[in-house]
Structure 1
Amino acid sequence: MPWAWTIPIRIRTRIRLRIREVREILVVPSMPDVIPSLDSVTPEWLTSLLRQRGVLERGRVLDVKIRSNPAFNSVAAHLEPVYSADAPAGVPERLFIKIKQHRWGRDEVSFYRMAMRQKPPLPMLIPFIDGAYDEDTGISHCLMLDVSGTHHAPVSRASLLAGDGVPKAGELAGCVEALASLHAYWWEHPDLRDGPVRIPTPFTDEESYMAEVRDQAEEWRRFSASAAAELPRELIELYDRRIEALPTLWDRYLKHRIARFSKLTVCHSDCYFTQFLCPDDPEIHGTYLSDMEEACIYLGAEDLVYVFATFWTREQRQENDRELRCLKRYYETLVNRGVKDYSWDDLCMDYRLQMIWRVELPVWDQQNGSSPDYWRPKMQCLADAYRDWDCAALL
């Protein structure tokens, strides 16, 4: 399942940490019946839950076979219910559960519960059955269909980090369309204004934005003192110029857009290709996005920079215009899904803006203990994309 395939070095930037900090202040009601451990996954519990969800109209669960999953960021397991003979046809034969502590699963539960209310179900999300969160203990669980028998990751973690992170053509197209469909569905959606998913803290107001800029400037200063001597001068100048100009971006590009809730959507916000699940048989199943614990409201291009610029080299992006073709497929899918008043030039501008913001990722990585083998290739990929898209012209 997807949580075993996710990159283990989570890119928990200050943006995400501050999302968490702000939500600690918000009143988040506890959700009942949280499963604190796999010991609590009993036939009785599963019978009751499936009945409540309308999945098990009659009969009951006699036994549950539990097979653990080596997910790094949760207690996770594949479940195989054994039903009584009078259970109806079509009951789920395989389920997947993940249990998280320390409040790390709260936002994912909130997102999926919001998504469950949408009709018809969103096809780019793994069918979700139940989620619960306990504010007192910080424990949560998510229960959904187990699609490991019908889907696979388009790129492995090892391949991604080794520089071989380009999916097969058909699978790449499916990932792009799934992401665009997610963004299109939630584009300026009314449920987002007062819902559980939030705008990242640095972009909620000018004060928060400027605080983030100061933090990044200090982070870059420390990076320069410890690692800049190893980098070419032109790369240092790119980052110096970026830091100098960051304060101006709020008024010029973000302030009014955030205030008007204009052209914003739900972003995955940790959107590497390892977060997708592609069908073994595309004629039967579609592509899924997984692991929504970092979901936020922001510019959709946030996710595009993760998938196309963070680990793709210049050669990989430019081969047969791969990056440009992916962006055009993404844009065409947005339009076909009903997004209006958002031009191709708007998308390109957003992509460049997010490149300016996300080029800082490897600096954060280095300052938080990542090895040079991890942050240097990422820095090169992002810096090359930054130059190719002439992001400095926006500063």
Structure 2
Amino acid sequence: MTNLIIPASMDEVTPEWLTAALRERGHLREARVIDAPRERVGAGVGILGELARIALVYDREEAGAPASLIAKIPTADPGGRDVAHMLGFYEKERRIYDELADRIGVRSARAYYAAGDPETVRYIILLEDLGGLRLGDQVAGASAEECYRLVREVARMHARWWNSPDLAALDWIPRGNDPVNLMAAVAYAQAVEPFLQNFGGELTEFERDMVLRYMHRMNPLQDRFSQAPETLCHGDLRLDNIFWGSPEGDAPLTLVDWQIAVKARGPYDIGYFLSQSVDPEIRRTHERDIVRAYHEALREHGVDDYPWEQCWQDYRTTVMWCLAYPVVACGSIDLANERGLALAKAMLHRALAAIRDLEAYDVLETLEERPHPLLLEAAAARQEA
């Protein structure tokens, strides 16, 4: 339990505060931080957090003291911060770095310090600086070789938690269809109109109809991929959250940003990545082999009761579900943010191509409409007005 006051902004992450935080977790003994110049990082990559790379200047040399680190706090945007807090993103990520990072089953960024206060929505995580590694670029897209490397590592993590009692004990990580995650349908409904206004001209008539039909089938679809077998999924497995390699050179990749971690079927992570971080031509050429490599890696790590046919169907279902990401992103993006806009459009066109290629829209015909209760309340209020 920390006794430190949690900074409300990066300006409050002072040399004195950093000294206390690093000493509290045993990363400093005698040395003191006397200067902490910083630069903003991650602009146009994430929208729910503010990140800064901080160089650490000490009053003396000390073995093992970090030369720099990444500080992560909630976004200053009130709307984004409130949504992330409502969905439990900040508290979840703090606990993952505090409690799971060293046993999660895949190389994750290490935390020097993590603390949070849900009442004030103040959170901070001090992470190792991975700037010496190559960060993925979701706009550019992943190569086939990177896809194979990723799915094999993710399969190792999934196998670690597959239907495990350890997973059941993590009651603070929600399932895909827990109430907090069903709220995604509300976010989607709010984004649909501005999405169609700004990007509807880039869709075919069939795709526009599919976007609208999907809106009230999201929650039933979440039920589909939230049934056993379940595992721990990263939840936001996209190229911008992947560093290739590790500082020690002992891992093929390092994952960051665990805010949307979820309990779900393993192909949830794979479908999300391949449908939105890989250009369609590469995906089409290698898709089935990449998913097969994931399935084979699951078996190598002890998952022997999950048939290939079920894995492939779960993958297709996820690709349909993941239409939610580009619609919400495009419906809420600041059109002046050039990198963010390029990312949102890449996600959209890749997702639509994957849905078409796999005919993943077929799953919609098997689902009944079930609008989220908040959407029904809003519709009733409009009728009364």
* TM, length-normalised to structure 2: 0.72
Whole-Å separation in 1 of the counterparts to 2:64 and 2:215? 56
Whole-Å separation in 2 of the counterparts to 1:178 and 1:208? 26
Q: Report the equivalent of 2:42.
A: 71
Whole-Å separation in 2 of the counterparts to 1:95 and 1:222? 38
Whole-Å separation in 2 of the counterparts to 1:305 and 1:105? 24
Whole-Å separation in 1 of the counterparts to 2:3 and 2:331? 39
Q: Report the equivalent of 1:351.
A: 315
Question: For residues 95 and 374 of structure 1, do their structure 2 counterparts lie closer, same or farther at Cα, with a shift above 3 Å needed?
Answer: closer
Whole-Å separation in 1 of the counterparts to 2:229 and 2:153? 18
Q: CA deviation at 1:126?
A: 0.9
Q: CA deviation at 1:348?
A: 0.9
Question: For residues 215 and 91 of structure 1, do their structure 2 counterparts lie closer, same or farther at Cα, with a shift above 3 Å needed?
Answer: closer
Matched residue type, 1:185: R
Q: CA deviation at 1:47?
A: 4.3
Q: CA deviation at 1:129?
A: 1.9
The match for 1:125 among 108, 112, 128 is 108
Q: Report the equivalent of 2:229.
A: 263
Q: Report the equivalent of 2:97.
A: 112
Q: Report the equivalent of 2:369.
A: none
Whole-Å separation in 1 of the counterparts to 2:192 and 2:12? 47
The match for 1:167 among 130, 140, 143 is 143
Whole-Å separation in 1 of the counterparts to 2:142 and 2:181? 36
Whole-Å separation in 2 of the counterparts to 1:75 and 1:383? 31
Q: Secondary structure at the match of 1:74?
A: strand
2:294 aligned with 1:325: no
Question: For residues 390 and 52 of structure 1, do their structure 2 counterparts lie closer, same or farther at Cα, with a shift above 3 Å needed?
Answer: same
Q: Report the equivalent of 2:380.
A: none
Identity of aligned residues (%): 22
2:162 aligned with 1:198: no
The match for 1:278 among 244, 248, 267 is 244
Q: CA deviation at 1:273?
A: 0.7
The match for 1:384 among 345, 353, 378 is 353
Q: CA deviation at 1:132?
A: 0.4
The match for 1:181 among 128, 132, 156 is 156
Question: For residues 270 and 247 of structure 1, do their structure 2 counterparts lie closer, same or farther at Cα, with a shift above 3 Å needed?
Answer: closer
Question: For residues 61 and 215 of structure 1, do their structure 2 counterparts lie closer, same or farther at Cα, with a shift above 3 Å needed?
Answer: closer
The match for 2:268 among 255, 279, 302 is 302
Q: Secondary structure at the match of 2:237?
A: coil
Q: Secondary structure at the match of 2:236?
A: coil
Whole-Å separation in 2 of the counterparts to 1:94 and 1:218? 40
Q: Report the equivalent of 1:98.
A: 72
Question: For residues 313 and 336 of structure 1, do their structure 2 counterparts lie closer, same or farther at Cα, with a shift above 3 Å needed?
Answer: same
Aligned-residue CA RMSD (Å): 3.9
Q: Report the equivalent of 1:152.
A: 134
Question: For residues 81 and 338 of structure 1, do their structure 2 counterparts lie closer, same or farther at Cα, with a shift above 3 Å needed?
Answer: farther
**Stretch moving more, 64-73 or 132-141:** 64-73
Given that 1:223 and 1:366 are in contact with CA atoms closer than 8 Å, whether structure 2 keeps it comes out as: yes
Whole-Å separation in 2 of the counterparts to 1:308 and 1:172? 8
**Stretch moving more, 383-392 or 212-221:** 212-221
Alignment of 1:187-226 (within 5 A): 187-189=162-164, 190-200=166-176, 203-204=177-178
Alignment of 1:231-250 (within 5 A): 231-236=203-208, 238-239=210-211, 249=221
Q: CA deviation at 1:335?
A: 2.7
* TM, length-normalised to structure 1: 0.70
Whole-Å separation in 1 of the counterparts to 2:190 and 2:23? 54
